[in-house]
Amino acid sequence: MSGRRERGVALLIVLWGCTLLAIMLGGFAALARTEGLQARYQFAQTRAHYAAEAGVMRAIEGLQSTDIASRWIADGRPYVFAFEDAQVTITIVDEDGKVDLNAASGDVLAGLFKAAGATDDKAKALSAAVQDWRRPGDAASPNGAKKPQYEAASLPYGPRNGPFATVEEARMVLGMTSSLWAAVAPALTIWSGRERPNTEHAQPLALAAIPGLGQAGADAILASRGQANGAAIAGGNGVTHTIRAEAILDDGTRSSLTSTVRLRGIRSGNQPYAVLRWREGDVE
């Protein structure tokens, strides 16, 4: 009797052992499958990333083509090309066509905010606040904002009292709302050094910021671009551009890059461009 009991106990132990082994093997198989999927995803993401980088390099080459007729135009139009098994879409915007936070006149700044939906009073106040942010000294301009006004608004900081270091810094200006920022951000720069946008490259919102131009004038400029010779437009490209490249693989894997570059020309022994800003992923 005891022998049967011992054999039964041994059988149960073997069955439990087999069950535990099966569970462990199943866990190892699931882990291996997960790691395999992660490795494939990372590999695909890396391929997409480098395809997007290739798009940025292709854009720089296109902007500096010695053949003006084939030179790429920096007015936001899309360029599409294939890189291995990725489709790469590129847009280029000339920074000269944007509103410079450090150089724009008060009228241009107010025009930009008004075109983005702000009331006249709000647009003028924001324009003054932007100018006070970049202007040295402690005295606020009429309707502007220096340290006391930021303290009164319970903000733990004040204006820089110097040039904007980044475009994103404008989000901190007193009176800037998230919705207004989202509207004006694509039209802002710190790299053009111009008092007003260059009408040859400006996008609709930046054109609307130019005093005296009006909607009719902006529409006429945009219409003339569509009719102009491509070589003539490309010949007017500036030297500082924001390039956005998006690469999509056949399996749907996607990667995007946004880079602001300053062209230096193609000369022997000279780096043809300088990167001013490099951001990966979608940019707000």
The three-state secondary structure class of 279 is: strand
Q: For 40-51, write each residue's pLDDT tens digit.
A: 778 889 999 999
State the average pLDDT over residues 6-17.
Answer: 68
Which CATH topology does 105-184 take? Ribonucleotide Reductase Protein R1; domain 1 (1.10.40)
Rounded mean pLDDT, 136-161: 95
- Which residue, among 193, 133, 195, has the nearest Cα to 164 in the 3D structure? 133
Give the tens place of pLDDT for each residue, 102-145.
999 999 999 999 999 999 999 999 999 999 999 999 999 998 99
Question: Are 142 and 157 spatial neighbours (Cβ–Cβ below 8 Å)?
Answer: no
Tokens of 180: 């207004």
pLDDT of residue 78: 94
Residue extent(s) of CATH 3.30.1300.30 domains in the chain: 1-98+197-284
Residue (of 167, 168, 115, 160) closest to 138 by Cα position:
160
Q: Is the pLDDT confidence value at 21 over 80? A: no
Judged by average pLDDT, the poorest of 2-6, 26-30, 114-118, 224-228 is 2-6
Q: Is the Cβ–Cβ distance between 184 and 168 less than 8 Å?
A: no
Per-residue pLDDT reduced to its tens digit, 227-271 = 665 554 555 678 999 999 999 999 999 999 999 999 987 665 678
Average per-residue pLDDT for the chain: 87
Domain covering 1-98+197-284, topology: Pantoate--beta-alanine Ligase; Chain: A,domain 2 (3.30.1300)
Provide the token pair at 63.
């902007």
Q: Residue 235 has what DSSP assignment?
A: T
Location of each CATH 1.10.40.60 domain in the chain:
105-184
pLDDT tens-digit readout, 162-171: 999 999 999 9
Predicted local distance difference test score (pLDDT) of residue 203: 85
d(CA 98, CA 93): 9
3-state secondary structure of 231: helix
Which residues contact residue 199 at a Cβ distance below 8 angstroms, ignoring those fewer than 6 apart? Answer: 97, 207, 210, 213, 221
**How high is the pLDDT of residue 59?**
95
